[in-house]
Structure 1
Amino acid sequence: MSLLNRYSEFDAWAWVYDKTLGTTYCNHRLPILEKLLLQHLPNKAHILDLCCGTGQVAQQLIRKGYQLTGIDGSEKMVDYARKNAPSGNFIVDDARSFKLPPTFDAVISTSAGFNHIMNIEELKKVFENVYTALLENSLFIFDLNLEKGYQLYDLKGTLVEGYIEDEYALAISRSHNQKNNTSWLKIAIFQLLETGWQRSDLTCPVKGYSQSEVEDILENVGFTEVNVYNHQGILELTESDDFVYFVARKA
């Protein structure tokens, strides 16, 4: 294991992520993966799921016949991934520093995992590690919130997602400081225990990048055929598109 900084803060909400966002994001991403990636892969292709979370995407891809390796910096997230997709191979490691040989037919990263990489230099390290792990002529696909999406939220924050169930509730808001161009996800978790409701709070810094700087890094690392698609998998972007998919090929 070559962790720069294990994402232990995500351990505290792995259980509720597994119940909520893990499934929601999986349902949204699978049709895009089908359209932009899976149709180009051989049978039983080996896929690396980077920032795999609680493993719902890996679980569905395994059911389709693919071999899956998952990496996440949260030990608790990986514990849930192993339960959800027991035939996958899951590793606790850091996207910025993992080292794997070139054995993968594709690398994916969904649920905006790379927005937790807080500067360009470290994002480049991620792309270099991915490039090394890919077989020649293989594809890399990931989703990302662009910086203009985070800039829509003021210092007070705006609710963007929420879940209410009988035994738990989850609320997530985004906030953005225009002065230092820094954003945060603020997460409030409510869990019903025998003694009553318990609240937990988590604040995660996030970073939005521009389309052009991400394209430049990919090309600088050596990726070719870089294309950018909107949230529906359409190649032609509009000014309002702030959540996108990047697809690149290892030459």
Structure 2
Amino acid sequence: MQAYGKGFAKVYDIKWSDFAKQVAPFILDFYATTPIAQENKSILDLCCGTGHLAMHFLEKGYRVVGLDLSDHMLHYAREHARHYIESGKATFIQGDASNFTLDERFGLVVSIYDSLNHLENEQALRRCFQCVYAVSDGYFIFDLNTRRGLKRWNGIQVDDSDDEMLIISRGIYDGLNDKAWMKISGFVRMPNGLYERFEETVFNTVFEMERVKKALLDVGWKNVYFARIQDLKTPSSHLIHSNPKHTELKSDQKQISPSVSFS
């Protein structure tokens, strides 16, 4: 897993925050109806990026801990949540999703926007699941990019839709190694009015859905299933065979039935 730089963090904060805003209501609508939500109001936002998902939870009265490897991403998250940090409702920590420990237990752990695809291999993914299991008192919801989705990375895209930035994305899917890379470069206007060049290489690892499910079961989760983000309560077993472009993962209560869902 890699830490992203200052320019890319700003681009991410502006251009790629909509996904968090789209999925947050579905996640919270699911969690708010569970018994554990009445007992544990703490949420861990794993690979929290610039904090837009965390902000949705904070605005609904939950306490949030955000963890991300990139200090530049966390800079924006802390700026967005400054009021909640000052009141003790939010904390943002620099850390690796595959190697972290926290003293707090969370009713919900969530990781979105294909963040776990950034782990380099299945061993790192398993370590992540173990870390999450150790701090979870309830549910684990995450998504993954699938092979079909990553094959769409092949090609070049140019985004010059506004005066704030120019983004050039060059993607390639390596079917032999089940990896995808996207080199993202361009210019972004910084607060001082000057443009700063940025360049990042984002990589994703393909994880087989059945092996992801097995890894969760091996760690200790018991009720593991795939579901669409629009309906996290209903298992959709056909998703594991239909090779969707994108998959949402959910895991629920450890004491009752931890689960996983994809959509």
For the criterion TM > 0.5, the same-fold answer is yes
Match of 1:45 among 30, 36, 41: 41
| 1:80-125, Cα deviation, whole Å (9 max, x unpaired) | 1011112110001111111013521110111111010010001000
The reply to whether residue 244 of structure 1 matches residue 242 of structure 2 is no
CA 1:171 to 1:125, structure 2 compared with 1: closer, same or farther past 3 Å? same
The aligned counterpart of 1:207 is 205
Separation (CA, whole Å) in 1 of partners of 2:118 and 2:10? 19
Instruction: Call closer, same or farther: CA 1:125–1:164 in 2, change over 3 Å.
Output: same
Residues 217/11 of structure 1: CA separation in 2 closer, same or farther (3 Å cut): farther
Change beyond 3 A, Cα 1:128–1:28: same
Q: Give identity over the alignment, percent.
A: 28
How do 1:87-236 and structure 2 match up within 5 A?
Answer: 87=84, 88-135=90-137, 138-154=138-154, 157=155, 159=157, 162=159, 164-192=161-189, 199-233=197-231, 235-236=235-236
Query: Which of 26, 29, 34 matches 2:23?
Result: 29
* Structure 1 contact 188–199 (Cα < 8 Å) conserved: yes
RMSD: 2.5
What secondary structure is seen at the aligned counterpart in 2 of 1:26?
Answer: helix
Q: CA, structure 1 residues 11+196, in 2 after alignment: closer, same or farther (shift >3 Å)?
A: closer
Q: CA deviation at 1:247?
A: 1.3
Query: Contact conserved, 2:7 with 2:196, CA < 8 A, in 1?
Result: no
Query: Which residue of structure 2 lines up, in the alignment, with residue 13 of structure 1?
Result: 8
How far has the Cα of 1:198 moved from its partner? 5.5
Q: Number of aligned pairs? A: 240
Call closer, same or farther: CA 1:173–1:201 in 2, change over 3 Å: same
Q: With structure 2 as the length reference, what TM-score do the two structures score?
A: 0.81
5+ residue gaps, structure 2: 85-89, 256-263
For residues 223 and 162 of structure 1, do their structure 2 counterparts lie closer, same or farther at Cα, with a shift above 3 Å needed? farther
Which has the larger strand fraction?
1
- How high is the TM-score relative to the length of structure 1? 0.85
| Of 50, 74, 78, the match for 1:78 | 74
- Give the Cα separation in 2 of the matches to 1:197 and 1:80: 18
Deviates most, 59-68 or 233-242: 233-242
